[in-house]
Amino acid sequence: MSDSESSRPTEQWGSKLGVILAVAGSAVGLGNFLRFPGQAAANGGGAFMIPYFISFLIVGIPICWAEWTMGRYGGKFGFHSSPGIFSVLWRNPLSKYIGSLGLLIPVVIYMYYVYIESWCLAYAFYYATGDLDLGKNPASYSNFFTELTGQVSDGAIISGDHDSDGRVEFALQPIFWFFLITFVVNFYFIYRGLSKGIERFCKFAMPLLILAAIGVAIRVLTLPEQPLPEPWPRSLPQALPTSQWDTLKETALAPKTTPPEMRKSVVTAFNHYFDGIQENQEGYDGDIPVLPPVGFANSDQGMGIAMGYLRAGDKAEPYVTWLHKVHEDLSQSQKLQLQDLERSQTSLVTELQATVKAQTLLKAAADHKGAPPPAEAMAKFQEDEVALKEQLKGITAKRKEIIASTGAGAMPSLLPFLVTINEKLTNDQWTEAQERYAALEVARLRRTVFNGLGYMWNPDLSRLFEANVWLAAAGQIFFSLSIGFGIILTYASYLRRDDDVVLSGLTASSTNEFCEVVLGGLVAIPSTFLFLGMASTISVIEKGSTFGLGFNTLPAVFANMPAGRWIGMIWFGLLFLAGITSSLSMLQPAIAFLEEGFNLKRRASVSALGLMTLSGALTVIYFSHNVTALDTMDFWVGTFAIFVLATIEVILFGWVIGIKASFAEAHRGADMHIPRVFGFILKFVTPVFLLTIFAFWLQQNFADRVQQMFDNPAVMLTVLYLIIILLFMFLLISLAAEQWRKIGLGEKEVAE
């Protein structure tokens, strides 16, 4: 071995605990506390945990062990980056270029992840200063978040207002400075190296993060039951000034008012209410629990029922009395049944509308050609339409059966007032709409934390037959454990040749699962349920936005909590810490590559990587409209490339190296052995599972994503940027390979 190679700087972990906490830190991040609870609640609650833990056992743990083992093996040959490690795992000229994914993935994810971290830092700071006290209206926080992150337009973060001549003034917005602080903090610890920087920070940050999460979880679990709000037609009169309520009521009573027009007036009234509470204006009562209409209550039919109630006046009292009687008599399980029926009906109605629309389009296309529509296709659509209508009839009948079981008698009808509403519905349709609206009212659960936990964890076993649920579970495991990133390969390569990888890998994964399932599952959804209620919680979950839950909804939840300002500060401080522990790990693979490929010192490699990642981060910051660049990078690198790399790793471990040789390497110095059944799982089950999931995923997402490149120039530019980065990495790998060949690196094991 040449002098140049032997002088190349080498690093090692300071302790076994340090490497476990560092690997756990790379996995524990925003996905644990925001993405996981939303995924679980949206995909069957407790039922989601079945495919989740199956994915953990046949994908998460096996790939984790494979990465730890292959990383340590590559480290024996002096390699600490995936191109070098792949070159000794598979002695093929192409292997090192396949390993480029292990550089591309963490580097690109860092480019946008560090920006998201800065959002958390900004929120924690604004909570500490009191500037994030925006009241109880989620819309206020949504507007704040949109403006803070520059989603209004591209370039909004680096430009200010227009001057007197109409020109845009150059002005860096506050979030840019939070980004710079976050960027510098990351590189400070990265520059200090593996043991003095990353390991030392994770030893401090991980226990603090877990303690903070436990503290917030305890606070949520000990919150008292919240009053159950009445629907807005009965609660707003008590919460608004008389003049404002009279104006809203006049709109409802006006014969020409349509439900969509009424909805606009209701939205305006709620905005006035939330603003009035925040500014302590006279006439607004913040002690009255009031929630905006969501779901069916916010539809045209639901708004029509509310208008009919207001038009009925005192004559609606029998209906209100009946509602209270049914609500009291229904059991918890019956209320949950009614909620399940509502979700099923919403889904079926959407499917029915799509079927009817497809028939209309097919007929229109045939008429345009002057020919009859395809008989077979039309027959299939009509058959589907009949089947869907039958299912809807079954839901209506079941709903009536549940309510009738209370013995409260027939529902007092508002039909004489509903038929006066400017909406083209038959009497039967109005009656069915009132029954559906009433079922939502009587199915309201007591707003306790434990009912919130029940909503999240009670299993809906019918969801197990949906492919999307399994896709979501597998995707969450990838996202959560950081497998397929290339990070664990690099971290494990710094282990000594007899350091344990089996128990260490299992411990790091278990730490992540504790943070995700136990701590992440106890905060976001239960607290949202407690303060915003069932309907609003469902609405948030159905939107499927991690950002919406974390930065729009939870701040409104904290605003309802005693000492919510400080809970919010701790929560977003926790998210910032979780983000930092993850992002610190993302650049080590590329730093290791620059050091071993070009014999660079730490300062030079960190500086070079800093410039590259800064260019990518600025791309994300500039193309801020609807977070376009961030979303594009997250899809093509943070999802697509991760699936590809993880699948390649499993094939390498199980087929190229072979299970026997792989397990022999894994068991060297191991405190425990991998159960033999995992040999079969790693060789057959995991790759088949991954390829199946990947095929379904491509079918659902790939075509739309490709089309986006042609529809949106910002998406195309971001993809081109990613391609340039990948080609640049190919060039660097080619140059590094020549250097390795000259010094003989990788040909034999190196001395420790």
pLDDT top residue among 59 and 280? 59
Looking at residues 61-65, what average pLDDT do you find?
A: 95
pLDDT for residue 696 = 82
pLDDT top residue among 199 and 462? 199
The residue to which tokens 């043991």 are assigned: 195
Summarize pLDDT for 697-743 with one digit per residue, the tens: 788 778 888 899 999 999 999 999 999 999 999 999 999 999 999 99
Summarize pLDDT for 414-439 with one digit per residue, the tens: 999 999 998 889 999 999 999 999 99
Looking at residues 297-307, what average pLDDT do you find?
A: 95
pLDDT for residue 7 = 43
Other Cβ atoms within 10 Å of 173 Cβ, number: 19
Other Cβ atoms within 10 Å of 492 Cβ, number: 26
The residue to which tokens 């009949």 are assigned: 386
- Measured CA to CA, the distance from residue 13 to residue 419 in angstroms comes to 75
pLDDT for residue 542 = 64
pLDDT band at 2 (very low <50, low <70, confident <90, very high): very low
Looking at residues 247-263, what average pLDDT do you find?
A: 95
pLDDT band at 8 (very low <50, low <70, confident <90, very high): very low
Burial class (CB in 10 A: 0-12, 13-18, 19+), 69: buried
Got the DSSP string for 292-352? ---GGGGSHHHHHHHHHHHHHGGGGHHHHHHHHHHHHHS-HHHHHHHHHHHHHHHHHHHHH
- Measured CA to CA, the distance from residue 407 to residue 404 in angstroms comes to 6
* pTM of the predicted structure, to 2 decimals: 0.82
Share of the chain above pLDDT 70, in %: 95
pLDDT for residue 679 = 95
How many helical (H) and strand (E) elements, i.e. helices and strands, does the chain have? 37, 2
Looking at residues 450-473, what average pLDDT do you find?
A: 80
pLDDT for residue 356 = 93
Residue from 306, 216, 291, 225 nearest 261 by CA: 306
Summarize pLDDT for 149-207 with one digit per residue, the tens: 988 888 889 875 545 555 556 678 999 999 999 999 999 999 988 888 888 899 888 89
Looking at residues 538-558, what average pLDDT do you find?
A: 74
Whether 483 shows a pLDDT value over 70: the answer reads yes
pLDDT for residue 161 = 54
- Mean pLDDT value across the chain: 89
pLDDT for residue 9 = 47
- Measured CA to CA, the distance from residue 520 to residue 456 in angstroms comes to 12
Whether 640 shows a pLDDT value over 70: the answer reads yes
Kind of pairing, strands 168-170 and 159-162?
antiparallel
Summarize pLDDT for 366-418 with one digit per residue, the tens: 888 888 888 888 999 999 999 999 999 999 999 999 999 998 999 999 999 99
Summarize pLDDT for 113-140 with one digit per residue, the tens: 999 999 999 999 999 999 998 877 777 7
Of the listed ranges 12-16, 105-109, 544-548, 687-691, the one predicted with least confidence: 544-548
Looking at residues 271-279, what average pLDDT do you find?
A: 83
Q: Provide the H-helix boundaries in 370-501.
A: 375-404, 415-418, 427-442, 449-457, 467-481, 487-493
pLDDT band at 589 (very low <50, low <70, confident <90, very high): very high
Give me the residue spans of the domains in the chain: 3-222+455-743, 232-446
Whether 31 shows a pLDDT value over 90: the answer reads no
- Gyration radius of the chain's alpha carbons: 29
pLDDT for residue 284 = 87
User: How would CATH label the architecture of 3-222+455-743?
Assistant: Up-down Bundle (1.20)
